[in-house]
Amino acid sequence: MLVGCGTSAPAAVAQPYPATGLVLLSLTDGSARASASIGTDPVAVIISDDGSIAYVADSSPGDVYAVHLPGLKVAWKQHVGGAPFGLLLHGGILFVSLFSTGAVVELDPATGLQRARHSLPQGPAVMSVDAGGRVVVAGTRGQVYYLDGTAIPAGNGFGIAVVNGVVWTADYERAELVREGDGHRVGLPLPVFPFWLSAGPSGTMLIAAEGGSEDVDQGGVFAFDTLTSKFTTLARPRDPDQVLQAGSKVLVASHGDREVLAIEGGRTSTWAPGAAAVGIAADRMLNLLVVVVNAHE
């Protein structure tokens, strides 16, 4: 288990990253490789299986972009409305949750054309795939939703992750994790509010949690062992918006601190100082970390 007990000061000077768009970093050492201004309110990114395309949700305008990697040229742009938030690639379909209009749309990843639309209660957020291969959507009304209309009690929040076949959700206001099925709740070890969940190694779950005032107060990044219910605190950044595992590294989009944290072997390095990171995705095919930056978020 990683423990954020050591730090290594960044040697690089902050780069002039775009206010909104994409930044490409080396997954090996965090060195900057490329950047481009894309969209006006980007909030999320996901990578195609072959590593050649990044899909970006641009919330306020209601657009979704497909961007070639590593060249950062736009392949297509599709207007979907409704504040796109969550992105998921599954079964050859790009699923996009529309937070403000209560829907999930299915897009063709190659063209951006809409194939289907599913109506849900308002506030659908992050999506995942359950052990049965069904798309499951986190909701901000105390339920998770399936696209067939099924709703199951869960946390009231944005985050969702499937760990060892079990669906976990975040209850933002109560600072708890909630297990789907039996409703088992686990409180966070600090008074911070879980925003993002993702699967870690060996039955662990990674959690990015915000402080009371997002960009001012310290939040927390944790590893949670779902078998023992034990937490390890990895870092205390301001406004950590997303956390993921990439090889031996835990990577964090620390929006409040304007940087990306790379945690490995008990040491924390700062990548992309000055970048207003809100979302990250690991492109293992190209050995790149794709970072969504949004100085207005």
For 204-254, write each residue's pLDDT tens digit.
999 999 998 877 899 999 999 999 999 999 999 999 999 999 999 999 999
Integer Cα distance of 93 and 104 in angstroms: 12
* pLDDT tens per residue across span 160-215: 999 999 999 999 999 999 999 899 999 999 999 999 999 999 999 999 999 988 77
Given this model, what pLDDT does residue 153 score?
93
Mean pLDDT of 287-296: 96
Note the pTM of the prediction, 2 decimals: 0.93
Domains of the chain in sequence order: 6-294 (2.130.10.10)
Q: Residue 152: in which H helix or E strand, if any?
A: strand 151-153
The residues that bridge with 253 in the sheet, in sequence order, are 242, 260
**126-142 pLDDT tens trace:** 999 999 999 999 999 99
Tokens found for residue 58:
């641009």
Q: Give 15's DSSP letter.
A: P
CB under 8 A, 24+ apart: contacts of 217-222: 218/192, 219/192, 219/193, 219/256, 220/188, 220/189, 220/190, 220/192, 221/4, 221/250, 221/252, 221/261, 221/263, 222/188, 222/189
Please report the pLDDT score of residue 16 as a whole number.
83
Among 220, 258, 217, 222, which residue's Cα sits nearest to residue 236?
220
With bands split at pLDDT 50, 70 and 90, how would you rate the model's confidence at 6? very low
Question: In this structure, what is the dihedral angle of CA atoms 220, 224, 230, 233, given to the nearest 10 degrees?
Answer: -30
Rounded (5°) CA angle 67-244-123: 75
Tokens in use for 135? Answer: 């798309």
